[in-house]
Chain A
Amino acid sequence: MKKKPPRMTQATKMVLREMLADPAARYYGLQLSKATALPGGTLYPIMARLERAGWVTGDWEESVAHIAEGRPPRHYYRFTDDGAEQARAALAGARRPGQRRRLDFGMPWPDLPGMPR
């Protein structure tokens, strides 16, 4: 059964663009949080939705290196086999047959430091 695709919010798009810069790499939460300037409270629920949609898969840091570094363990995310392709299609605005596209009012993207264009 095909899983429900995630809602393409502005923040979700930022995360996907960041991961698509190297779609074969794995990324940990804080890394994505810093790259997108999204706080953990926003980023992690997005990652949970991308996992539920089957676009992204997560796994925990294998070693206990975090203990010596005095930080919580890292949770790594990577695209599933067809996740990157689905993400690219969604960013390109691909629509499923019969699906109506939401109106885009062409609001300018705010110029904030670190925002991807």
Chain B
Amino acid sequence: MNQPAASAGRAAVPDGEIAVDDPRAADVRALLQRHLAFAHAHTPAEHAYALDIDALLGPAITFCSYRAGGELLAVGTLHQLDGTHGEIKSMHTAEAARGRGIGQAMLAHLIALARARGMHRVSLETGTMAAFGSARALYIGAGFTPCGPFGGYQPSPDNTFLTLRLA
């Protein structure tokens, strides 16, 4: 395979490891709770699309975590929308671990995974508010560009859509 790390679902990153993980694990649940709380604190309920644990156990979803010495520092998800289009979801870095490039490593891992699965494009939805500024900077820095709503999303002033062509 071209990308053994991604296809095996595991990758070594500086001072930690990204691997497929269980969204039901206690520490993952706690971090996902903070992720959901953040989304709902900054986005009106009807425009907050963060996935709960049940949704993360659904089909077509690869849920990954970043751990350093076993400690959970970040999560991220790739959802395959169809044969050629993937969606990045549930990107969250623990507050104490921010500013170390962990989100960047997670994003790179999910993009490599999408490539290995033959996807031509990955897209994502995030917020337009100031609280999502560092998230938007991460995606723009990785080459994502604004796009229209995809999948089942509706346009709204609270949501922005970004996409990255892989092929």
Same complex origin of A and B:
yes
> Which range contains the number of A residues in contact with the other chain?
20 to 34
Could you tell me if B83 and A39 are in contact, using CB atoms closer than 8 angstroms?
no
Q: Name 28 A/B residue pairs within 8 A (Cβ), A-sorted.
A: A39-B2, A39-B116, A40-B115, A40-B116, A40-B117, A42-B118, A44-B83, A44-B84, A44-B118, A44-B119, A45-B84, A45-B118, A45-B120, A48-B82, A48-B84, A51-B83, A60-B60, A61-B59, A66-B20, A66-B62, A67-B20, A71-B20, A72-B20, A72-B113, A73-B60, A73-B62, A75-B60, A75-B80
Q: Which 9 A-B pairs have the closest CB atoms?
A: A44-B118, A48-B83, A60-B59, A72-B62, A71-B9, A40-B116, A67-B22, A39-B2, A70-B20
Chain A positions within 8 Å of B, measured between CB atoms, are 29-30, 33, 39-45, 47-48, 51-52, 58, 60-62, 64, 66-68, 70-73, 75
Chain B positions within 8 Å of A, measured between CB atoms, are 1-3, 7-10, 19-22, 57, 59-63, 78, 80, 82-84, 113, 115-120
**Candidates B61, B63, B78, B118; contact of A41 at CB < 8 Å:** B118
